């Protein structure tokens, strides 16, 4: 990992502010969703990208009942259901 040299303190509600330079560099805009991961003793933030609920695939996504499903998953389910061969 590359150090930015930027240090921020948590406020009384446990929040931090991401500097505008980082947000611009990483393409994170106002109200964008960030995903939070833990890697050992590190907290990792990544810009959230929706993915297929079954496979995690991020290509050709369709919204179904508020969930993201890829074209490949839809085809596989259609085969299982006997709709297509």
67 and 44 share a domain? no
Q: Tell me how far apart the alpha carbons of residues 18 and 21 are, in angstroms, rounded to a whole number.
A: 8
How would residue 85 be classed by pLDDT, with cut points 50, 70 and 90?
Answer: confident
43 and 68 share a domain? no
pLDDT digit string, tens, across residues 36-57 = 999 999 999 988 889 999 999 9
Strand spans (E) along 24-77 = 34-39, 42-47, 61-64, 67-70
* Percent of the chain residues topping a pLDDT of 70: 100
CATH code where residue 21 lies = 2.10.260.10
18 and 34 share a domain? yes
How would residue 34 be classed by pLDDT, with cut points 50, 70 and 90?
Answer: very high
Per the DSSP assignment, residues forming a β-bridge with 45 are 36
pLDDT at 10: 95
Average pLDDT for 63-73 = 94
4 and 35 share a domain? yes
**Structural domain for 17, as ranges:** 1-48
């Amino acid at each position: 990992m590359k150090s930015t040299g930027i240090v921020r303190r948590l406020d009384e509600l446990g929040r931090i502010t991401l500097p505008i330079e980082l947000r611009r560099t990483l393409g994170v805009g106002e109200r964008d969703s960030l995903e939070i991961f833990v890697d050992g003793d590190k907290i990792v933030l990544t810009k959230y990208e929706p993915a297929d609920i079954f496979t995690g695939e991020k290509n050709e996504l369709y919204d179904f009942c508020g969930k993201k499903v890829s074209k490949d998953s839809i085809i596989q389910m259609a085969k299982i259901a006997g709709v297509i061969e």
